[in-house]
Chains A and B, each alone.
Chain A
């Protein structure tokens, strides 16, 4: 059974469609099929073709945009750009057929509700028990135990058990022993979106902690005793260090601008024992534009070397990657060399914060470089801590300004590391690419929605949920 918006009787396959190669003048003939979930191109087998019957399957969810170009002598061109950066260029003989496919795709591209997403109709040959097991592969409680938490300095708090304090945080949060409920609640009122400082990684060897949060609502001069107490508690929890680093992963200018809106950053005068550091990583809009420019450059035909390098530079993409990696290195040095605890935040604490915390943890802890460990890392720092996958990856027809390749950047940072340290990772590039595919495919339930609370609501709605971990474990 599939939740399919009806498009009338336009499901018929279209023949005599040409698939154009992006970089040469070659083309292949075939037939185009439109199903509820995929667009499929099947190459017509011919006598002299060695790859007869080549098939291209494009998941609707992967399609970022469809463009119908003006009619040419050979037919009506249709250009499809996918979120996994695939670009397909078809030429359909009859304009009417092209228009049918185009308008059907447009409607299929824009699911309005979660039930329409592939995850709810995808049905691999698994029974309920296997499916349940898939979901239970990752146990964050066990992960924190592996890190050595709870311990004498850190405890599990139930203050957010029903998402009452922070809707976008997970149920289970770890805070310093000395952080009482009033302190936590007070701090959460002083932080953007209620995202108060919590533990995300514990470096046992030095008893140093990596905590994350969002920006304080300090404006120009506002203070919050509870928030200051919480940071004090974090500092006290680490006997080895006199101070806590506070890493604001935004450029200083942006943080300053936020003050005018009643937000901002921590004032070293008000918070005893902190050392404040800006680590300028640009915001989601800059990253979105950067990616667009990059794709334009590398998609150019007959590109010469000079234009390529100049274009690469002006997109800024590698500069941003470097900024994220530099930040992770700073975090790692602070924790492993200086033995200091670090508090990381950006604006809302779910984009740059997630990148820096998870990449830093990867540098610090070899467990996260195993396949299972990497999945745990993503589950912890991205999924449970509320990175807005739905908005960032444009799962539903949402606000285009919320779309940004933050998770893609993280995956690229990891890839860069695998290139430099080939033997330090249990997984290969293929694993990263698979994850990237499925973040956008919505084939699995892991990345649906914007936070844990939303995901749980979706699980109640439908029985169809699959685990990406299960699938990847089988591969």
Chain B
């Protein structure tokens, strides 16, 4: 299949580009198989390189023979192209539509991208499960790495290697997998060094209406309990929804079969609700009516902030069970691929300072989202401006990033990375030249040969030049468990994402630059002081007359 077939008009001159906060530019518009490019007429500099996969939807308008295409992007940017000539405009529009709605993954840009930088460290190998396990091994010998899923036959959405209690053999795992939604048997998500408690995650138990039980599943999770101690199961559905799930073959862990586990229901919304919420929020942010009451009403009606609060609350609950109560926790919803992962990854941000470092956070995203089988391809197929009927799209990962931002804002010195890293991850999850977020599971990524055929985002991000940009100048490493406030008054709208294109951040950016300078200057002065002190000490030892009395 040739991309050229889809491009009706590859090039149009005299196109005017309108972008937020930048002056209008006239130039030549080019369409390639993967990009929409605008080159300025003045000096042939490329003003715009837009991935087709970043386009959510387009709108066409005509005034006389001048056509306008409004391009709405998944990163929430909206740009306008004024194209002379109705035919050219229609051709461009339909070409864009075709190119931005390609279904096949192997046609996506990461397969064609050739990096302009030297790949020093291959991000595809930076966060392998076996390496993460080595860290675990150094802390405890109660766990083992099982390769029961090495050909993805036991659980298609899990990675080939998973950490399970040492005394549980592969056969037990196979049986437990038949008892869990999509074969997602309970696996280790996080080990809390301070007290040896663990957090596990899984899919819902398939108890069905007959009250089916699975001794292997019970054995598996009971193996994580200390003698005489109870554990907590956090179910991200209401008790009613969990009950109703039985009719469709699902269900929850009954007290009778799991007597050592206390079940807590903390409902988090499902995918389609979250997508609606995002659409409404973005609409509210783009509302130009400038009325305070409308703004607050629309913000409230979107419920986005409510979701943020609920997810953070549940994550805090999980973290409390582990750190304060000293109990182990199992988290699941229905499939165990969405709200479950929000809870387990956020809980780790709260509990584990290592997850707040840049590499640690990358590792967290790798483990708890990518390898854990969050269906990125499906969830990030469309964003807030999508015109088509929503299928599997949902801003689950974006909500997670929003929650991380809330904590980062409340604890500005506890994170090695800054807000820009979170925004970067948001962008690349939806559209990217890198293959990291392609596919829905490790199995798919292996099948598509992504590690061989595409470049990893981590390869690029971990280069010193990029890291510098993403580092938080206020970071002071600490070993604390940090407890965010989930009061509504403490949670803010993430302007860096949702108001990014509506309001110029120039003054705030300048203030941030100034802050970075002040911190650097302070460090320089501190070094100078230290060096002068050393000199003074040196001189004092050399000349006894100079010694201070």
Q: A322–B295 Cα gap in the complex (Å)?
A: 12
17 chain-A/chain-B pairs, Cβ below 8 angstroms: A305-B300, A305-B303, A305-B305, A305-B309, A305-B488, A306-B303, A310-B296, A310-B300, A313-B293, A318-B292, A318-B296, A319-B292, A420-B507, A422-B507, A422-B508, A423-B510, A423-B511
Quick one: closest A residue to B306, CB to CB? A305
Q: A303–B296 Cα gap in the complex (Å)?
A: 16
Task: Flag if B491 contacts A305 (CB, 8 Å).
Answer: yes
Interface residues contributed by chain B, number (CB under 8 Å): 20
Of all A-B residue pairs in the complex, the 10 with the closest CB atoms, nearest first, are A308-B488, A422-B511, A309-B300, A313-B296, A305-B306, A319-B292, A305-B488, A305-B305, A305-B309, A421-B507
Task: Flag if B305 contacts A298 (CB, 8 Å).
Answer: no
CB distance from B54 to the nearest CB of A (A): 29
Quick one: closest A residue to B486, CB to CB? A305
Which A residues from 343 to 375 make CB contacts under 8 A with B? none
Task: Flag if B487 contacts A303 (CB, 8 Å).
Answer: yes
CB distance from A210 to the nearest CB of B (A): 25
Which B residues from 484 to 525 make CB contacts under 8 A with A? 487-489, 491, 507-508, 510-511, 514
CB distance from B508 to the nearest CB of A (A): 7
- Provide the residues of chain B in CB contact with A298, threshold 8 Å: 489
Interface residues of A (CB under 8 A from B): 23, 298, 303-310, 312-313, 316, 318-319, 322, 420-424
Starting from the known contacts A305-B491, A322-B292, 8 additional A-B residue pairs (CB-CB under 8 Å) come to: A306-B303, A312-B296, A313-B296, A318-B292, A318-B296, A319-B292, A319-B293, A423-B511
Interface centre among A23, A316, A420, A423 (most CB of B within 10 A): A423
Q: A305–B305 Cα gap in the complex (Å)?
A: 7
Q: A23–B292 Cα gap in the complex (Å)?
A: 28
Contact with A along B307-336 (1 / 0, CB 8 A): 011000000000000000000000000000
Contact with A along B276-309 (1 / 0, CB 8 A): 0000000000000000110011011001011011
CB distance from B194 to the nearest CB of A (A): 19
Evaluate whether A309 and B299 lie within 8 angstroms (CB atoms) in the complex, with A303-B487, A303-B488, A319-B292 already known: yes
Q: A313–B292 Cα gap in the complex (Å)?
A: 8
Quick one: closest A residue to B310, CB to CB? A305
- Provide the residues of chain B in CB contact with A421, threshold 8 Å: 507
Q: A305–B507 Cα gap in the complex (Å)?
A: 29
- Provide the residues of chain A in CB contact with B305, threshold 8 Å: 305, 309
Interface centre among A305, A306, A310, A422 (most CB of B within 10 A): A305
- Provide the residues of chain B in CB contact with A316, threshold 8 Å: 293
Task: Flag if A423 contacts B488 (CB, 8 Å).
Answer: no
CB distance from B510 to the nearest CB of A (A): 6
A-B contact count (CB 8 A): 53
Interface centre among A304, A308, A424 (most CB of B within 10 A): A308
Task: Flag if B293 contacts A309 (CB, 8 Å).
Answer: no
- Provide the residues of chain A in CB contact with B293, threshold 8 Å: 313, 316, 319
- Provide the residues of chain B in CB contact with A306, threshold 8 Å: 300, 303, 306
Task: Flag if B488 contacts A304 (CB, 8 Å).
Answer: yes
Task: Flag if A309 contacts B309 (CB, 8 Å).
Answer: no
Task: Flag if A313 contacts B514 (CB, 8 Å).
Answer: no
Q: A304–B303 Cα gap in the complex (Å)?
A: 11
- Provide the residues of chain A in CB contact with B510, threshold 8 Å: 423
CB distance from A36 to the nearest CB of B (A): 35
Q: A283–B277 Cα gap in the complex (Å)?
A: 37
Q: A139–B344 Cα gap in the complex (Å)?
A: 62
Q: A303–B507 Cα gap in the complex (Å)?
A: 33
Q: A385–B368 Cα gap in the complex (Å)?
A: 63
- Provide the residues of chain A in CB contact with B297, threshold 8 Å: 310, 313
Evaluate whether A23 and B487 lie within 8 angstroms (CB atoms) in the complex, with A306-B306, A313-B293, A423-B507 already known: yes
Quick one: closest A residue to B303, CB to CB? A306
Quick one: closest A residue to B299, CB to CB? A309
Q: A305–B281 Cα gap in the complex (Å)?
A: 14
Quick one: closest B residue to A424, CB to CB? B507
Q: A423–B515 Cα gap in the complex (Å)?
A: 10
CB distance from B487 to the nearest CB of A (A): 7
Q: A282–B514 Cα gap in the complex (Å)?
A: 39
Q: A23–B309 Cα gap in the complex (Å)?
A: 16
Q: A298–B305 Cα gap in the complex (Å)?
A: 16
Quick one: closest A residue to B485, CB to CB? A23
CB distance from A305 to the nearest CB of B (A): 4
CB distance from A240 to the nearest CB of B (A): 30
CB distance from B21 to the nearest CB of A (A): 15
Quick one: closest A residue to B302, CB to CB? A309
Interface centre among A309, A310, A316, A421 (most CB of B within 10 A): A309
Q: A309–B303 Cα gap in the complex (Å)?
A: 10
Q: A310–B292 Cα gap in the complex (Å)?
A: 12
Q: A243–B68 Cα gap in the complex (Å)?
A: 42
Quick one: closest B residue to A317, CB to CB? B292
- Provide the residues of chain A in CB contact with B299, threshold 8 Å: 309
- Provide the residues of chain B in CB contact with A312, threshold 8 Å: 296
Quick one: closest A residue to B309, CB to CB? A305
- Provide the residues of chain B in CB contact with A305, threshold 8 Å: 300, 303, 305-306, 308-309, 488, 491
CB distance from B281 to the nearest CB of A (A): 12
CB distance from B419 to the nearest CB of A (A): 15
Task: Flag if A308 contacts B292 (CB, 8 Å).
Answer: no
Task: Flag if A313 contacts B300 (CB, 8 Å).
Answer: yes
Task: Flag if A309 contacts B488 (CB, 8 Å).
Answer: yes
Q: A421–B503 Cα gap in the complex (Å)?
A: 13
Which B residues from 14 to 39 make CB contacts under 8 A with A? none
Q: A308–B293 Cα gap in the complex (Å)?
A: 14
Q: A18–B299 Cα gap in the complex (Å)?
A: 39
- Provide the residues of chain B in CB contact with A322, threshold 8 Å: 292
CB distance from A359 to the nearest CB of B (A): 17
Q: A244–B254 Cα gap in the complex (Å)?
A: 78
Task: Flag if A304 contacts B306 (CB, 8 Å).
Answer: yes
CB distance from A410 to the nearest CB of B (A): 18
Q: A145–B68 Cα gap in the complex (Å)?
A: 55
Q: A318–B508 Cα gap in the complex (Å)?
A: 22
- Provide the residues of chain B in CB contact with A303, threshold 8 Å: 487-489
- Provide the residues of chain A in CB contact with B514, threshold 8 Å: 423
- Provide the residues of chain A in CB contact with B491, threshold 8 Å: 305
- Provide the residues of chain A in CB contact with B300, threshold 8 Å: 305-306, 309-310, 313
Q: A424–B299 Cα gap in the complex (Å)?
A: 30
Q: A78–B510 Cα gap in the complex (Å)?
A: 48
Q: A305–B277 Cα gap in the complex (Å)?
A: 14
CB distance from B308 to the nearest CB of A (A): 8
- Provide the residues of chain B in CB contact with A422, threshold 8 Å: 507-508, 511
Q: A420–B489 Cα gap in the complex (Å)?
A: 19
- Provide the residues of chain B in CB contact with A420, threshold 8 Å: 507-508
CB distance from A277 to the nearest CB of B (A): 18
CB distance from A317 to the nearest CB of B (A): 9
- Provide the residues of chain B in CB contact with A304, threshold 8 Å: 306, 309, 488
Quick one: closest A residue to B308, CB to CB? A305
Q: A304–B487 Cα gap in the complex (Å)?
A: 8
CB distance from B26 to the nearest CB of A (A): 29
Q: A310–B487 Cα gap in the complex (Å)?
A: 15
CB distance from B427 to the nearest CB of A (A): 25
CB distance from A424 to the nearest CB of B (A): 8
CB distance from A417 to the nearest CB of B (A): 10
Q: A249–B207 Cα gap in the complex (Å)?
A: 68
CB distance from B473 to the nearest CB of A (A): 15
Q: A445–B511 Cα gap in the complex (Å)?
A: 36
- Provide the residues of chain A in CB contact with B507, threshold 8 Å: 420-424
Q: A135–B296 Cα gap in the complex (Å)?
A: 44
- Provide the residues of chain B in CB contact with A318, threshold 8 Å: 292, 296
